[in-house]
Structure 1
Amino acid sequence: MAFLRGRRAWSDAGLGRVSFLQTPAWGRVKHGWAAESLGWFDESGAPVGAALVLYRMLPGLRRSFAYLPEGPVIDWSAPDLDRWLAPLLDRLRQAGAFAVRLGPPLAYRRWHAATLKAATGPGRKVGDVLPDLVEPLGAAVADRLRNAGWRRCGDDGGAAGDAQPRFVFEIPLAGRSPEALWAGLSQEWRRNVRRAARAGVATSLSGPAELPAFHALLGVTERRDGFRLGRSLAYYQRQFEMLNAQERGSMRLYTAAWNDEVLAAHTLLRSPDGARFWYQTGGSADHRRQVRPSNALQWRMISDAHEEGASVYDMRGVPETLDPDDRPFGLTRWKLGTGGDVVEMLGEWELPLNGAVNRALHRAMQGYLARR
């Protein structure tokens, strides 16, 4: 099996599930990081694996931290992972990386909405609840990485926590009819979608001209709900341009308007193979919330993903808390109403790349990431 640099690894791969974070376009979105596309090829020259590596240079040094968000895209079921990872690590050392972080795109544990609704309570967390399913591949890969010296971020030992969400929310779409998806919504969700329709809320697939309205509503939501993404309007404009330049429809903006006023706006991302859609982020106004624009918008986005043949609608991160008195639980409660699953991903793993100096640099980078 050959290991080569170059964008061809992506253009010809046909590798199945690939996160938007592992496409060449994402490297062009991330200012402050250098990006490199890498590929694995079989004896016939056919692509069998691919990766986008982001490099963060340390100020004043010719050394970098290598990061593969939700990657690499390889055969994680292979019994000999070193056959895949060894050439990658050799390349990273050649590029001057002192440490690497990767995020295998694998599920580890899964909880159905009904299971977690029944388990809410003071001080409760998702991890306290017996999962409905433990994914055998995720568990096996975790053991193989530990045995090879990798350390999972956030575990004991000082590693910074995951950059990507450990817990995500997925709605399965494959094999389900629109009627089954509708029935899977909670009564409250169905009531709110109907309320929006009766009030005359209109949902639309919008273009980049509406990104300033989206960003303004995102700021309103950040202040109301007490979180901060720290993303500028220019960031979302660059993301929209770069992802859609790679493939039209890879990033979309949906808006919900009432009496011609945009009350909610959400971004939707599409995987290269169309099998997965992600609700990335969204905002809504403080006023007219009784017409439920966000519920109407999400139902439109779920329905569009289903109509285009997606297998999964991914609502991205949820907090681990199941305590109704914890403010972050409101987001989990809202997503649970769609009837999907909370999924614990395998998480992100780090490895220093040889030598005491590299280990020291790795510890310094961990502290930097923890502060961020």
Structure 2
Amino acid sequence: MSISVQEVIDREQWNDFLLRQPRGHLLQSFEWGELNKYLGTRIYRLGALDEGRLVGVMMLSIADVPLPIKVPGVTLRWLYSSRGPTVESPDSLALPALIRYAHTIARREHAVVLRVEPNIADDDPEENRWISAYRKIGFRENLISIHGRRSWVLDIRPDAAKLLANFKMTWRQNVRSAERKGVVIREATSDADFDTYYELLKLTSERDDFFIHSKDYNKEIFRSFASKGDAVLYLAEHEGEAIAAKMLIRFGDWCWDMFGASANHKRNLKPTYLLQYRCILWAKAKNCSYFDFRTIPEVLEPGEEMWGVYEYKKGFDGFSRMNMPTQDYVYRPLIYAAWRKLVEIRRARRHEERKKVELERAARGKASS
């Protein structure tokens, strides 16, 4: 086998390969690359070919290293592949070929590190072989990830009645209670509906202290996938007032629960439970096999950031899926070590702050129950 690597510009060729792979991921899709470019990020779509047949892909983004002190004329960068590269097996020659090509880009970009986070999880029978494959070609483990390592996933292949029956009892009761109390779930169909969704998202980000992108970027995400029927935006309403919303995206036989929002009032109606169930039904109707609720705490202990979110997601049944550690190929060891230390300090500080918030939130919840 003789592997060549080149940049791929054909959307259909790129996505078709990813969709055939059990380890393909939304964040490596052609559309997600376009979204990165929309934000001003430069990307490379690298394809490994064997006699013209695509046997591996890796989408790389290029970002500046945030130096603590600006040095005139000095710009250092890092290369990142979120949930990539994607190749057929740990011993595929496509993997080292893609990495060698990435090294040429790294030299051109004056990169400090090449960081990859392949879509290899603890439910992959070959996880250890994948980790060994990366170690063999010079990568080292980094336990601080860019994209959350642990997610909550539900196998939605059983019929709808079985899925509902597997919810925790209180979750099932909340789904039915919301319906009885007049909560209605409908698909967003207009710009005004999108504005309503985004206002709820802003409200939720302020309440729960998380970052959101601009309305225009959210609209671009939705447009990129909804044009092919692979995205939906749902609003939960009561007496004509929107009180919760969700955006879903499908890629292959996976559906991702991308963004959720809820109002500060009428929470006693439990609209998010009914909304979540309808989202699962939409994914089933799209012939998905798995529903990814997305990130939960990496360490599953009370008080960890997102612990309350984890307990909510867990009530719908499913399983925890832990991705393999981030892999770093280091080009500039001294700068890398200083940068990593700075990141560790900031992360530890944020972790303590968020843990305090989570514990206070849990205490308020117990007091009000």
TM-score w.r.t. length of structure 1: 0.80
1:6 equivalenced with 2:13 (yes/no): no
Percent identity, please: 25
In structure 1, give the amino acid aligned to 2:45.
S
Counterpart contact for 1:74–1:84, Cα < 8 Å = no
How far residue 26 of structure 1 moved from its aligned partner, in angstroms, is: 1.8
Counterpart contact for 2:48–2:56, Cα < 8 Å = yes
**2:45 & 2:342 partners in 1: Cα distance?**
25
Greater relative CO (CA pairs within 8 A, separation 6+): 1
In the other structure, the counterpart of 2:230 is 250
Matches within 5 A, 1:69-148: 69-78=82-91, 83-93=96-106, 95-96=108-109, 97-108=111-122, 135-148=124-137
Counterpart contact for 1:70–1:105, Cα < 8 Å = yes
Counterpart contact for 1:26–1:243, Cα < 8 Å = no
How far residue 204 of structure 1 moved from its aligned partner, in angstroms, is: 1.6
**2:304 & 2:27 partners in 1: Cα distance?**
30
How far residue 323 of structure 1 moved from its aligned partner, in angstroms, is: 4.2
**1:335 & 1:231 partners in 2: Cα distance?**
23
How far residue 150 of structure 1 moved from its aligned partner, in angstroms, is: 1.7
Counterpart contact for 1:266–1:283, Cα < 8 Å = yes
More helix by share: 2
What is the CA deviation profile of residues 10-66 of structure 1, one whole-angstrom value per residue up to 9, with x for unaligned ones?
Answer: 1553533432211232233232420121111122x1222222110114584464311
What is the CA deviation profile of residues 160-182 of structure 1, one whole-angstrom value per residue up to 9, with x for unaligned ones?
Answer: x21111110000123x1222211
Partner SS, residue 83 of structure 2: coil
C-alpha RMSD of the superposition? 2.6
In structure 2, give the amino acid aligned to 1:302.
I
1:205 equivalenced with 2:177 (yes/no): no
Change in CA separation of 1:207 and 1:106 when aligned onto 2, cut-off 3 Å: farther
Counterpart contact for 1:103–1:347, Cα < 8 Å = yes
What is the CA deviation profile of residues 287-342 of structure 1, one whole-angstrom value per residue up to 9, with x for unaligned ones?
Answer: 11111111111101101111221111000000145444667321111111111001
Note the residue ranges of structure 1 that are not aligned, 5 or more in a row. 110-134, 155-160
Counterpart contact for 1:40–1:49, Cα < 8 Å = yes
Counterpart contact for 1:34–1:55, Cα < 8 Å = yes
What is the CA deviation profile of residues 81-138 of structure 1, one whole-angstrom value per residue up to 9, with x for unaligned ones?
Answer: 75444434344335423321111101126xxxxxxxxxxxxxxxxxxxxxxxxx4311
In the other structure, the counterpart of 1:40 is 48
In the other structure, the counterpart of 1:360 is 334
In the other structure, the counterpart of 1:64 is 77
Note the residue ranges of structure 2 that are not aligned, 5 or more in a row. 348-369
How far residue 262 of structure 1 moved from its aligned partner, in angstroms, is: 0.6
In structure 2, give the amino acid aligned to 1:215.
Y
